[in-house]
Amino acid sequence: MNLTTPLGDEVLSLRAGDRVTLSGTIYTARDEAHLRMMKEGIPFEPEGAVVYHCGPVVQDGRLVVAGPTTSARMDALTGFLIDAGVRALVGKGGMGPEVVEQLRGRAVYLALTGGCAALAAARMSLKGVHFEDLGMAEAVWVIEADCLPLTVGIDAHGGDLFEAVREKAKTQFHQRFNTR
């Protein structure tokens, strides 16, 4: 499926493991940006928005590279964004059970291949910035995305591909090392 921002109910039909592409405006946010937004408010229209867990390298107003960062760091900082209408989170590594519940019936988590910063930047252009004083990695960069290749990691029905893989890995581990 091809997704275009702002996102609506179309994300609710997605299932963990589906592959999608994403185009349109997205906003980067890491730890510091989440804390600032909780304190001062969200500096963009959150309804239908996409938040990208990313600290890019920016030089002279140009996005040099911009791959995803570890989303789990934002586990405890994400609920207010979903409450405000954010429809998708993009990052790597998946998120905790509290986020899986927050997404239920409302939004999805999309996985972008970690480390693929040149690939991501090749499909992005920089449109603006909020909270620039937080520094290059932590600022909220406004990005126009063009067909980002993503995998649905957590769907709006409680389906979590990362958790399913983790459960299988645990079983394998215990079998191999005769524990439990």
Partner 1 sequence: MMVNPADTALSGALADATERALREAEIRLPPDVLAALRRAAAAERDEIARQELANILENIALAGERQVPICQDTGVPVVYLTLPPDIPFSPDLFSGVREGVRRATATIPLRPNVVDPLTRENTNDNTGAGMPAVHVTPGDRLTVTVLPKGAGSENASRIGMLLPSQAAQIPKFVAETMLLAGGRPCPPVILGVGIGGTFDMAAALAKEALLLPVDTMDDYEQEICDAVNALGIGPMGLGGDTTALAVKVKRADCHTASLPVAVNVQCWACRRATVEVER
Give the residue numbers annotated as catalytic, written as ranges.
34
Distances (CA, A) of 2 to 22, 31, 98, 134, 146: 6, 29, 27, 33, 10
Residue 84 in tokens:
């405000």
**Residue in 7, 14, 66, 108 binding partner 1, rule: CB under 8 A:** 66
Total residues at interface with partner 1 (CB under 8 A): 46
Residue with Cβ nearer partner 1 (85 or 114) = 114
Question: Which residues inside 67-86 make contact with partner 1, applying CB under 8 A?
Answer: 67, 69-70, 72
Token pair 């090392």 is found at 177
User: What are the respective helix, strand and coil percentages of the chain, to the nearest 5?
Assistant: 35, 30, 35
Among 46, 48, 55, 159, indicate the residue that binds partner 1 (CB under 8 A).
Answer: 55
Q: Are the C-beta atoms of residues 5 and 26 closer than 8 Å to each other? A: yes
Question: Which residues 85-124 are close enough to bind partner 1 by CB under 8 A?
Answer: 92-94, 111, 113-119, 121-122
Task: Write down the least CB distance from residue 96 to partner 1, Å.
Answer: 11
x/- mask, partner 1, residues 144-173, rule CB under 8 A, reads -----x-x-x-------xx-xxx-xxx-xx
What end-to-end distance do the CA atoms of the chain give, in Å?
42
Cis peptide bond N-terminal to 56, omega within 30:
no
105 token code pair: 């019936």
Write down the least CB distance from residue 138 to partner 1, Å. 9
Q: How many CA atoms lie within 13 A of 133 on its CB side?
A: 1
Binding segment toward partner 1, per CB under 8 A, in 34-42, 75-83, 96-104, 131-139: 131-139
User: In whole angstroms, how close is the CB of 164 to partner 1 at the nearest point?
Assistant: 8
Indicate if the alpha-carbon torsion angle 45, 50, 56, 61 is positive or negative. Answer: negative
> What are the residues binding partner 1 (CB under 8 A)?
17, 19, 54-57, 59, 64-67, 69-70, 72, 92-94, 111, 113-119, 121-122, 135-137, 149, 151, 153, 161-162, 164-166, 168-170, 172-173, 176-177, 179
